[in-house]
Amino acid sequence: MPNHSWIARIRKGDVLRAGSGLLRVVRHVSHSTVKWNGPAHTRTNVYFSIKHCSWTHRCYTVYTGNDLVQMGYRPTRARVKLRKKIDRIIEHDITNRDRFDQKLTCCDVESVS
């Protein structure tokens, strides 16, 4: 069984490689501990800037840790400092869930990693 413990250590700015070879920068990440009928486990949600426009028009997409495994994502050990103005605006849109206060659409970030 493969070891996917790296998922619990993902941080904002990490660069992940998809199974297709595509490199993606983690824009935001949330880890939470969940306990159902059995042992507690960590649930991870990873946010990336979106690659193609979608019906939501959001500038980001969200994958769970399970999605990352299914899509063949792997860590690269590379990190990016997210200090540009566009990085701050993307972070705003991810963390501010008010859909009427979104600053960017998917079309604004199609070329952003």
Tens of pLDDT, residues 55-105:
888 999 999 999 999 999 999 999 999 999 999 999 999 999 787 788 999
Q: CA-CA distance, 82 to 42, in Å (whole number)?
A: 25
Q: CA-CA distance, 52 to 20, in Å (whole number)?
A: 16
The pTM of the whole model exceeds 0.85:
yes
Q: CA-CA distance, 25 to 22, in Å (whole number)?
A: 10
Contact criterion met (CB below 8 Å) for 28 and 9:
no
